[in-house]
Amino acid sequence: MTSKCEVVVLRMLDPSIDVPELERALARSAVGPGELIAIVGKTGGRGSGDDPLRAGVERQLRSTLAAHLALRVDDVEKQIPIMLSGGSYGPLTPNIALFIKKPVTTTPDVAAVEPGVEGKSLVAGWARTPPLAPEDLGRPAQVDAVATAVEAALLDAGSPDPSDVHAVLVKGPAMTEARIRDAHARSRSVITDDPDIDLTASTMYTNDASALGVAVALGEVDRAEAMSERVIRHRWDLFSAVALASSAGEKTGADVLVLGNALDAASDLVVGHDELRSPIDVEGIHRALRRAGLEFDAAPSAAQRGDIVHVLIKMVLPADSVVLGETTALADADDPPAVAKTMAATLAASVTGHTRNYVSGGELDSHQGAPGASPVVAIVRRTTAAGSQHPGRRR
């Protein structure tokens, strides 16, 4: 059956959700059981692996959704992935994006549409890995588990061509001190005893293992080549152009959300992606918007900004701190993730004209994006006035 995907972005009342606004949005969209397929959001807090604010917001979301959808809280956890990124630094308002997928009985007329050019619209699907043991985090076992989950999410999205996949969000488990103790108690080693988010810490490894899993599932990297600890956070030539991965201590398995375009979808939304070729590359956002079909010259007009539904950025910092050939102190900052998120939030707000965007980041080099680049994703509403908008294909 054909589906119609909707994306609704709501502000949050930091440090908690705006319950009345969430309930109104669910009512306006007439969301029924099984139709809310994911929530992706930004919270306040530090954004560390064991961020209590982010975990508290997730619990509040589950409770609110359970009451509205007449589900048990445990069933909400099983049925709806909640993928929150902590740390709303810079011009960034805490927010949540509801990804809604409704069945429709009408089928778009695609007979006259040339594949890969126009007429495609948003499809989405999700899946979850089994629980991952602490000793598997940041290692080939995580790569393999995430790859399998991405393949399942592609099926849930209706099996779009991998070249039409423009974003794969992954929220995996973070290493915590409790997990490190658990592994050591069972005489198991972990990828690192550092649970923090700096250059050598476990979060870098867990995020990048997830990214390589995305790359394997989409055919960007050969599975056999990715299944080695000598590859993870070493072989930067192996990467996914569409992976946006993060980690949280409250997760036991990795949640995966795939966003792509397909000819037989009924959505009025289109997703596109590109890359920031440096941490100050605002044109990367413009390219992603154009690939999602928004046509403009130098920058989107005020009216066109209204057709920008959401912008998502994974800001990766260069470990050598070199930007456009010049030496900076980016990697030497006391809190690189805060710096990365501030920069990404500023770039996104300068284009969208508002602060309800999604940014994550702080990795120093990564398998998320090509070497020296950061993935950026744009979701755009196709309007009658836009006429000839063309959803682009992945490079």
Q: Are residues 48 and 178 in the same domain?
A: no
Q: Are residues 155 and 55 in the same domain?
A: no
The residue type of 62 is R
pLDDT, position 14: 67
- 246 carries an active-site annotation: yes
- For residue 284, give every residue at least 6 positions away whose Cβ sits within 8 Å of its Cβ, in sequence order, or none: 274, 275, 276, 277, 374, 376
pLDDT, position 185: 97
Q: Which two tokens stand for residue 307?
A: 């057709």
Which H or E element spans position 38?
strand 36-42
Domain that holds residue 334: 268-381
Residue 362 sits in a domain whose CATH number is 3.30.1330.160
pLDDT, position 371: 96
Residue 393 lies in a domain: no
First to last CA, the chain: 29
pLDDT along the chain (395 residues), means of 10: 91 82 91 93 84 89 93 94 94 96 72 51 98 97 98 96 97 94 96 74 93 98 96 97 95 97 95 98 98 96 97 96 94 89 97 97 96 98 55 45
- 171 carries an active-site annotation: yes
Residue 337 lies in a domain: yes
d(CA 2, CA 266): 7
Dihedral, CA of residue 311, residue 314, residue 320 and residue 325, to nearest 10:
-20
Nearest to 19 by CA among 66, 77, 83: 66
Catalytic residue among 3, 88, 246, 366: 246
Q: Which two tokens stand for residue 166?
A: 């423009």
> In the block, which residue shows the tokens 């009658």?
384
Q: Are residues 88 and 158 in the same domain?
A: no
Nearest to 354 by CA among 11, 21, 16, 5: 11
Q: How many domains in the chain?
A: 3
Catalytic residue among 171, 251, 314, 341: 171
Which H or E element spans position 372?
none
Which of 106, 125, 140 terminates a domain? The answer is 106
Which of 77, 106, 135 terminates a domain? The answer is 106
